[in-house]
Chains A and B, each alone.
Chain A
Amino acid sequence: MPGSKSIIPFGPQHPVFPEPLQLRLVLEDEKVVEALPAIGYVHRGIEKLAEKKEYTQNIFLVERICGICSFMHALAYCQGIEMLMDVTVPDRARYLRVIWSELHRLHSHLLWLGLLADSFGFESLFMQSWRSREAVMDIMEATAGGRVIISTCIIGGVRRDISEELMAEVLKTVDVLERDLEIIRPVVFDDYSVKQRLVGTGRITSEQAYDLGSVGPVARACGIARDFRETGYAAYKEIKVTPVTETGGDAYARARVRIREMYQSIDIVRQAVRDIPAGDIAVPARGNPEGEVISRVEQPRGEVIYYIKGDGTKNLERLRVRTPTFANMAPLLTMLPGCELANVPVIVLSIDPCISCTER
């Protein structure tokens, strides 16, 4: 019978979603019985554009697949091209890449926490985490010249070095951050109201998470110890990373994973700053890429997969990006049915979605 269920559009222009995405929700009272996404609001066609631009220009393009973990996009791309062209990156550059990667992870996780807090109306927590994030943004601008899209990674190394004094600043920043995290951590871990909203929300089993191909914190919150940094790209060869895992499989576990990862990132930055060798920051790369390769990098949201196919010209034949949110979309679709309307944004944000890279 018509009218027996409620149907509403959730998005695309919706203030809890920073990015346009429509969920077509079917509700019973306020219980979601069906949720289907309609996307395409940020599809640009970057993969095609990348075939038209020179492979060196593409660095700036892939950084703009997503502004949040732009550096890691550039990193994955450059690593792929380097593999194709057999370039060995100098050690100092590898360490610098790690430092910027981890700073990106820190800013991304803080940003996510703020958005999550916003989704359950915790304005102060949003303010607190974004305020702490500014420290990262500042150090990013100081070291790289840009706040969000830093454009420091190039083929064969990095564009900029971090001086001794700035290294000290970096350490200072992570110290400040660690202190701030001590304010934030108990709020997420123990606060009654936050736990009320997160515990049990959007729960999936470890089995489901595995089968549906989830990556990053979504997988790790289900106890799947997968973190591509373990395989040792860049300087992760020297700086060992153990995946942070939780077993709850719900929004709370995902939040815990990310908070704990921030501590881990702080640690990695410290190690990298301590161990960074002196030397060149880039080697020149000559010629054009040829052949096909897959390059993978662990982004804040999980593992990104770059497939690069070059035909020996300046232009690539194919560039394909599988971003982490793309992989986490299927798990998200299984989390939504059965939840309360009020938890829809919480669940969506608990996977830390990035639509712009999902659609490219």
Chain B
Amino acid sequence: MVSLLKSVINNVLRKPETRCYPVERRAPFAGSRGHVEMDPSTCTFCGVCARKCPANALTVSKDPRSWTLEPYKCIVCGYCADICPKKSISMNPNHGLPGGI
């Protein structure tokens, strides 16, 4: 009848499952898509990434050479990283940090 009894008692006796997040951080999984990073040293500012970005989060211009990411628009799909001919874009596995306005 009270089928959860055993596991509830077990829970009390065992250490809680909780990961104490800010204190105890788990290393991110390799290859996890946390946020976008771009290596300006290899980028040619060709603009492919900006054209293909599904969320229009990127703006690239050749003159003046600029590459801008709107972090709060980016949907971290990683498409830009896939598509960049120079492989200048990579996905950092750590999640992006919250910010104010």
Seen from chain A, the residues whose Cβ lies within 8 Å of a Cβ on chain B are: 53-54, 56-58, 60-61, 64, 124-125, 128, 131, 138, 141-142, 145-146, 149, 151, 159-160, 183, 186-187, 190-192
Contact = CB atoms under 8 A, between A and B. Distances in A.
B75 interface: yes
28 contacts: A53-B54, A56-B52, A57-B54, A58-B54, A60-B75, A60-B77, A60-B79, A124-B8, A128-B7, A141-B29, A142-B30, A142-B32, A145-B32, A145-B33, A145-B78, A145-B91, A146-B32, A146-B76, A149-B75, A151-B33, A160-B31, A183-B4, A183-B7, A187-B3, A187-B4, A191-B3, A191-B4, A192-B1
Nearest to B52: A57
Residue with the highest number of chain B CB atoms closer than 10 Å, among A57, A64, A125, A186: A57
Interface in B23-81: 29-33, 52, 54-55, 75-79
Contact of B29 (A145, A183, A187): A145
Contacts of A159: 82
B79 A57 contact: yes
Contacts of A128: 4, 7
B2 interface: yes
Contacts of A190: 1, 3
Nearest to A146: B33
Contacts of B52: 54, 56-57
A55 B29 CA distance: 30
A191 B33 contact: no
Interface of B: 1-4, 6-8, 17, 29-33, 52, 54-55, 75-79, 82, 91
Give chain B's interface secondary structure class.
Answer: loop
B69 to A, nearest CB: 16
A192 B54 CA distance: 50
Nearest to A58: B54
Contact of A151 (B6, B7, B8, B77): B77
Nearest to A54: B52
Nearest to A122: B4
Contacts of B17: 131
Give chain A's interface secondary structure class.
Answer: helix
B75 A186 contact: no
Contact of B2 (A54, A57, A191): A191
A273 to B, nearest CB: 19
Given A146-B76, A159-B82, A191-B2, A60 B32 contact: no
A275 to B, nearest CB: 24
Nearest to B10: A183
Contacts of A53: 54
A125 B4 contact: yes
A60 B54 contact: yes
Nearest to B79: A60
A61 B8 CA distance: 41
A192 B2 contact: yes
Nearest to B26: A138
B54 A191 contact: no
A190 B76 CA distance: 43
Residue with the highest number of chain A CB atoms closer than 10 Å, among B3, B6, B30, B52: B3
Contacts of B29: 138, 141-142, 145
A145 B91 CA distance: 10
A131 B18 CA distance: 10
Contacts of B55: 60
Contact of B3 (A58, A64, A151, A186): A186
A81 to B, nearest CB: 15
A124 B77 contact: no
A60 B57 CA distance: 13
B4 A61 contact: no
